[in-house]
Amino acid sequence: GVNITIPHKESVIRFLDDISEEARLVGAVNTIVYKDRKLVGYNTDGSGYMASLKEELGFNPKSKRIIIIGAGGAARGILAALATQKPKSITVANRTLSRAVSLIKTFKGKFRDTRFEAIDLDNNMLKMSFNSVDLLINTTSVGMKQSKALKIPLETLPKIAIVSDIIYNPLETLLLKKAKKIGLTTHGGLGMLVHQGARSFKLWTGMDAPMNVMRKAALKALKMEVGSRK
């Protein structure tokens, strides 16, 4: 089997023979299993993200207010996993508003305990939403390999807010550095990478993954890549 990453999580579906119910709900695939001469797609992003958030911060999404930046495949997986935990609200902010609207439309009728909203990725809109948020998640690729920082008004977030970035290269993005500098709790993407990989491993082999070995291998690979760029 193989793992699929951005920006191919949605477009790959048309090449598969079947997809799991979770992947169908999400509309994106990050894991492909070859079984009985068929290619079957799964999505372990959401469950991997939730496992990481719980393991590292003990965060419980129930009754919380959450903002997701981005409306691609990763956002879909994370939104689906969060929605099952009955948060108070989930707001999706995206540069192309129609994509955010389309994304929440999929979930509105299925999860009635949560209020869903779509907004433009505009600083004025974000400032209004940031006044009362518990968890902010960047699911875009902005900030990968320290290319640039996501320009959002972090200073307007409440002090209890968690800023989460699913990017794992670098381990601490410019967004997380800025959040930490102003005293906010941060959560990086390495844990999600390891946990979703562990779930993929089990789909491929039927066995539990060696989590510690995977985490050490991921850290080693990332450090080697950073060293090669210096």
Neighbour count for residue 62 (Cβ, 10 Å): 9
Tokens 């902005």 belong to 142
Contact 100, 125 (CB under 8 A): no
| Alpha-helical runs (H) found in 34-183 | 45-57, 73-83, 97-108, 123-130, 174-181
Alpha-carbon span 7 to 172, nearest angstrom? 21
Marked catalytic residue, from 9, 151, 159, 230:
9
Q: Is 9 a catalytic residue?
A: yes
User: Is beta strand 2-3 parallel, antiparallel or unpaired with respect to 18-19?
Assistant: unpaired
> What b/e string do you get for 157-194 counting C-beta neighbours within 10 Å, with b at 16 or more?
beeebbbbbbbbbbbbbbbbebbeeeebebbbbbbbbb
Which residues are CB-neighbours of 81 under 8 A, at least 6 positions away? 45, 46, 47, 49, 50
The residues that are catalytic are: 9
